[in-house]
Amino acid sequence: MSLRDTLVYCVTAAILLVPSMRVVAQDAPDRLFRVETVDGSVFTGSLVHEDEETIVLLTESLGEITLRRVNIRSMTEIEPSRVRDDGYWFENPQSTRYFFAPNAIGIRSGTGYYQNAWILFNNVNWGVTDYFSIGAGAMPLFLFGVPTPLWILPKVSVPLVAGRVYVGGGAMLGGLVGEDSYSAGLLYGVATVGDRDRNVTVGFAYGYGGGEVSNTPVINVSGMARLSRTMYVVSENYFVSDADDFDGLLSIGLRWARESVAIDFGLFRPLADTDDLIALPWLGVTLPIGGR
């Protein structure tokens, strides 16, 4: 398959991840709230009554409940469009990345996440502002007596059309630290179309190492689509081409995500001929950090 045909195929597949689904909201109360208490409990319901000391919510599962204001950490009004047939759809807590690759949507200021994949891969990202985030990561291979990969992850995000089109750029700066330290990383740019629940991203990156920058970019085509309150389908794909060869990596998987944790299950398949290898598994866990 040629580079052009493969890219057309993957862009088409990614677009199919963003179906033009028409989701009809239930008849919702005029004022619906999400309330988090100081002990971490979360309630959603319509506001029945409030005064200086208490609020009364009408919830679907518990009926009317009374909460003292001194026990409330946060109280946020919910858009009626987020009430679906299967309940309240909280904002996607993992909307700014796929399995690993970032999109152009910014991490909200004062929030972030810790990501772990296969125990050894560790990554933390934090939104400094709505338009700039910083991250860092490591694989503690020193435990096995070999050099340890370390990196930092600055990222800039710019919304062109609010909630629909974004562009961004960033870097993965680091290298191997150990007896034979080595500097390496990449610089990238991305464009994302869609919202935090359904989007497609096209990006490119140039790697560097040993003081040299690659002449050939790595092209990334990725997408995600929210299937239900807690389930997403995710695809992350990479392509490299030079004068002599064309190679890449395709993936597909599912993400189960609540407000407090997300678990990714995926399969990665190299484009190169591999007689015995069907796919490489991906298993990752992500914990949101900061306000929700």
Helix (H, G, I), strand (E, B) or coil at 8: helix
- pLDDT for residue 247: 85
Helix (H, G, I), strand (E, B) or coil at 143: helix
Asked whether residue 4 carries a pLDDT value surpassing 90, the answer given is no
Amino acid identity for residue 104 in this structure: A
- pLDDT for residue 96: 97
- pLDDT for residue 118: 92
Q: In the chain, where does the domain assigned CATH 2.30.30.100 lie? A: 32-84
Asked if residue 224 lies in contact with residue 215, where contact means CB atoms within 8 angstroms, the answer is: no
User: d(Cα 128, Cα 130) in Å, to the nearest integer?
Assistant: 7
Asked whether residue 12 carries a pLDDT value surpassing 90, the answer given is no
The residue-averaged pLDDT of 263-268 equals 96
- pLDDT for residue 3: 46
User: d(Cα 146, Cα 140) in Å, to the nearest integer?
Assistant: 9
Q: In the chain, where does the domain assigned CATH 2.40.160.40 lie? A: 91-290
Look at 215 and 129; give whichever has higher pLDDT: 129
32-84 maps to which CATH number?
2.30.30.100
Domain 91-290 has CATH 2.40.160.40: yes
